[in-house]
A and B are shown apart, each in its own frame.
Chain A
Amino acid sequence: MVRFATRWLVTSLLLLLFVSAFTFVLVSLIPGDAARSILGQSGSREQYLQLRQQLGLDDALPAQYWHWLHGAVQGDVGSSITSGEPVGSMLSGRIGVTLSLVASSVVVAGGLGVALGVAGALRGGWIGRAIDVLSLAGLALPSFWLGLVLVAIFAVKLGWLPATGYTPLGDSPVDWLRSLVLPAVTMGVGCAAVIAKQTRDAMRETLAKDYIFALRARGVSERSVIYRHALKNAAIPVTTVLGLVVAGLFSATVLVEQVFALPGLGSLAVQATADHDLPVIEALVLFFTAMVTTVNLLVDLAYVRLNPKVRAA
């Protein structure tokens, strides 16, 4: 267990270092001069010099990176160029929105995906075809487009749900949920198809195993055979896919938060990109990378939990 934790920690730190260093190199590649490029031709000379200093451009690249890293370790990742606000507090104010969105999407994707997958494995037939259609749609339909179509139907035409905006959970749990339904479905449906497909294949494979036959021969009830024994064994490959899906969901927030005007980290990333607000983007890249490694850790833990063979090793 200790070795496992150490390995994860080392891998994650290496990844974060790699990503942040790469970002720095990228910024240094800006043709001409980053400060000039950010300000455009309109900026005054004072603004330009101040920005150069703020970005630490007067130092050599390794020194710049070291300086930034030094701050980052202490929790200081700089301030926004546009608003002057500390980046840390900008992120913490918006993190709840993004996590709510990702969590509710996981519920949609996981619930729908596993249910459809199990049904598809047991029945085939029209459910099997539905999974095929759904997974093609999930692969092919751009999420931002799907979101707009859902808005056009359920918000504009039917008026059932709000088209945009976010209500914090603390203000009103019902409105919070209502504001998340369309975004979560937008992000979740495509992922549900991926999970359904994996669940169906894994269930089919598991149900063909010798031990499933033996369980039936021992008189174990069909419900237990499927939902206790087969599902637990099939869950092992499904968790791996679920991990990839959740990592993808974090990236998808960039688009979907924009579509539904949700004040989360994804829309912040878009705003910061448009404003060339480099400190904010750098911090966001790190944050999203950290989220991905965290999800990987959770998947590994679930994998160990589900698979006694790995646990013993």
Chain B
Amino acid sequence: MIGAALRRPALTVALGFLVLVTIACVGAPLWVPTDPLQQDLGAILQPPSSAHLLGTDGLGRDVLSRLASGGRVTLLGALEAVVVFLALGVPLGLLAGYHAGRFDTVTTRVAEVLLSVPAIIFLLVVVAVFPASQLATMITLGVLGTPNVFRVVRGSARAASQELYVRAAQTVGLTSGQVLRRHIAPALSGPIIVQTSLFAATAVMTDSALAFLGFSVQPPQPSWGGMIAEASAVIDADPWLLVPPGVLIALVVLALGILGDGVRDLAARSVASVERPRRRPRRAAPAAPRAPGPSAGPPALLSLHGVTVAFPAPHGEVTVVRDVALDVCEGQAVGIVGESGCGKSVVARAVLGLLPGGARLTDGSIRFDGRELAGRSERELGRVLGAHGRELARRSERELGRVRGAQIGFVPQDPIATLDPAFTVGQQLTEVVRRHRGGSRPGARARAVALLAMVDLPDPEQVVRRYPHQLSGGMAQRVGIALALAGEPKLLIADEPTTALDMTVQAEVLGLLRDLRERLGMAIVLITHDWGVLADVCDDAVVMYAGEVVEVAPVQSLFAASLHPYTRALIASNPLLARAGEPLPAIPGQVPAPGAWPAGCHFVPRCPLAVPACSGELVALGGPGGAHRTRCLRHEELAPR
């Protein structure tokens, strides 16, 4: 830990500064140029010079000498307070945390009360009672500060005492004292150091404040706060005198703060580095043969072409989705299937123009109802095209704003987490209705109730008044669908809309989606990993694997005659389709992470049919033609004869 500390310059500087100030102040009598009390009325209020490095005060005393001598008092006071703080807070915290029960209840309660005591005013009582006793005020300050360290120590001790190795140590027969000393205390040193340095800063500040008010050492003895008070008396004549004591206090407090933050960061890092090894991402995949453009047929409502998305990574970017093509006609239902982590949701977010933090569309086009939605970021286009590019980007963002919610509705995965917990269902629905259809508040409210009735929610008048946490999962998802319908969209994108729900509720929600599609003539893009859901709702299916579309076909063709080994394996591992008595086949291995995709076909490492040619170049989406396309080199061997 010390080695790591030395590698952090801010921490080292702060520590060095504190050591330096302490040595300089404690050793002040040995080195200060002049006696801090020695007046020289012939040389008052002098600016800094070689004789007086920080100038002289209103009585001609050397500021540097007074600063160093005054520091002894302040630092001693802070030390007294810190000793009390630790001597009281740490043992009490350990006991309270380690032995739950009445002692814990009482001490915790007292700590809460102490936290509510206004410290400065309470210290003034002590000053009034024990005039000019720095020891008394600093002991009181230490007591008042105790809850801070008490709470941290108690919390850590409580957590540590639940750890298995501590339990084991108890079982082996170690006494409480031994367990505390050997197993719990070491884990506490970090938080204690943090609290101590923060409290030391408070103590320095408080001691200076009391000295400023005239309740510490009496003049002419110097103190940091007292020097500020002296400076305030001559503020018209020489404001400079404020600077040395104020800056010194600020620097000491700052150094203590940096020390605390630094130790906390070190502690956090040593934990994090154990838990999370850094993975080195690969460079983005090289350009590859593109899938052919949209096939002939009715004009598509939504048409994705060559869509490629990259996420920021420690070194450059990592491509998570590449060359995605997808066509959805009016009124059509298309499913996107694949295991978790294949990039299904990323595609949905790309269509909505709502990629998560830092991710961007690096290539491809997204056309909806004849309009291009694939916007590049303002900054990116601005860099390449200047003002014209920025204008283009803004136009594309406006275009998206008009489409989002109004023409493309979105049903998210987790229904409760995607409702704002601070507003009622009615408030949220009304806002969306008014956003897309305008109109008065009562009108929008009536529409909200109608929407809730449309998604088969019983008693919509009552649901309108509820908060999200008062809804069941199934009700919340119906509200989510109502919200998506508020703008009367032509296309509904549903991202695993039933995954978070119970089986029976799943069937109801799917039925509702099918029903709505028929009634409203909406197109649907349904993201799922469930073949049953897919077969239930969708006409066509797009199978994704490791960021790529690997197969596109009508759902019936996929089940009957898939042309990609991944699709086949996925269907085969579906428990609902398995034959009784036979073991359920599973696909060996895992989906490779973005940045760790194999060269060539992404499925090679898990593919039973892989041949050396598969690992050569990226495979393009092709196949027998028509509506059925696949990204497999050996699809002809898979085709039924």
Contacts and interface: CB of A to CB of B under 8 A. Distances in A.
A259 B229 CA distance: 9
A298 B121 CA distance: 22
B122 A285 contact: yes
A284 B409 CA distance: 61
Contact of A148 (B235, B357, B423): B235
From B124, B129, B357, B480, residue with most partner A Cβ within 10 Å: B129
A78 to B, nearest CB: 14
Nearest to A252: B120
B130 A269 contact: no
B222 to A, nearest CB: 16
A63 interface: no
Interface in A16-33: 18-19, 23, 26-27, 29-31
B116 interface: yes
A281 B128 contact: yes
Give the interface size class of chain B: 35 or more
A295 to B, nearest CB: 10
Given A15-B116, A258-B213, A306-B422, A272 B417 contact: no
A139 B257 CA distance: 8
A293 B112 CA distance: 12
Given A142-B208, A148-B228, A218-B404, A251 B119 contact: yes
Contacts of B130: 30-31
Interface in B200-227: 201, 205, 208-209, 212-215, 225
Given A210-B412, A276-B131, A292-B118, A219 B406 contact: yes
B15 interface: no
Nearest to A229: B420
B412 A142 contact: no
A309 B118 contact: no
A166 interface: no
A152 B242 contact: yes
Interface string A101-125: 0000000000000000000000000
A211 B419 contact: yes
Interface of A is mostly: helix
Contacts of A15: 113, 116-117
B422 A229 contact: yes
Contacts of A296: 116
Interface stretch (B248-256, B326-334, B513-521): B248-256
Interface string B405-429: 1100110101001111111100000
A133 to B, nearest CB: 11
B455 to A, nearest CB: 15
B401 interface: yes
A19 B117 contact: yes
Interface stretch (B31-39, B431-439, B584-592): B431-439
Give the interface size class of chain A: 35 or more
Nearest to B424: A308
A309 B421 contact: yes
Given A216-B354, A309-B469, A140 B405 contact: no
B425 to A, nearest CB: 11
A213 B421 contact: no
Contacts of B288: none
B491 interface: no
B420 A270 contact: no
B125 interface: yes
Given A140-B250, A211-B418, A233-B420, A26 B432 contact: no
Interface stretch (B76-84, B388-396, B481-489): B481-489
From A19, A29, A149, A156, residue with most partner B Cβ within 10 Å: A19
A176 B362 CA distance: 59
Contact of B250 (A26, A142, A211, A309): A142
A220 B435 contact: yes
Contacts of A228: 431
B125 A148 contact: no
Contact of A217 (B236, B245, B352, B470): B352
A255 interface: yes
B418 A213 contact: yes
A99 B242 CA distance: 29
Contacts of B469: 308-309, 312
B412 A217 contact: yes
B499 to A, nearest CB: 13
A152 B241 CA distance: 11
B422 A285 contact: no
Interface in B594-617: none
Contact of B125 (A139, A214, A251, A285): A285
Contact of A26 (B129, B356, B422, B486): B129
A16 to B, nearest CB: 10
Given A148-B232, A152-B235, A312-B467, A210 B404 contact: no
12 contacts: A30-B130, A139-B201, A142-B225, A145-B249, A149-B239, A209-B417, A216-B404, A218-B409, A219-B404, A233-B421, A233-B422, A251-B119
Given A156-B235, A274-B214, 18 more contacts: A142-B209, A144-B225, A145-B246, A148-B232, A157-B239, A211-B417, A211-B418, A211-B419, A211-B420, A214-B412, A219-B405, A221-B435, A228-B431, A232-B423, A254-B213, A284-B121, A309-B421, A309-B469
Interface of A: 14-15, 18-19, 23, 26-27, 29-31, 34, 37, 136-137, 139-142, 144-145, 148-149, 151-152, 156-157, 208-211, 213-221, 224, 228-229, 232-233, 247, 250-252, 254-255, 258-259, 269-270, 272-274, 276-278, 281-282, 284-285, 288-289, 291-293, 296, 306-309, 312
Q: Which 10 A-B pairs have the closest CB atoms?
A: A219-B405, A214-B418, A217-B410, A145-B246, A152-B239, A308-B467, A140-B254, A140-B250, A288-B118, A140-B253
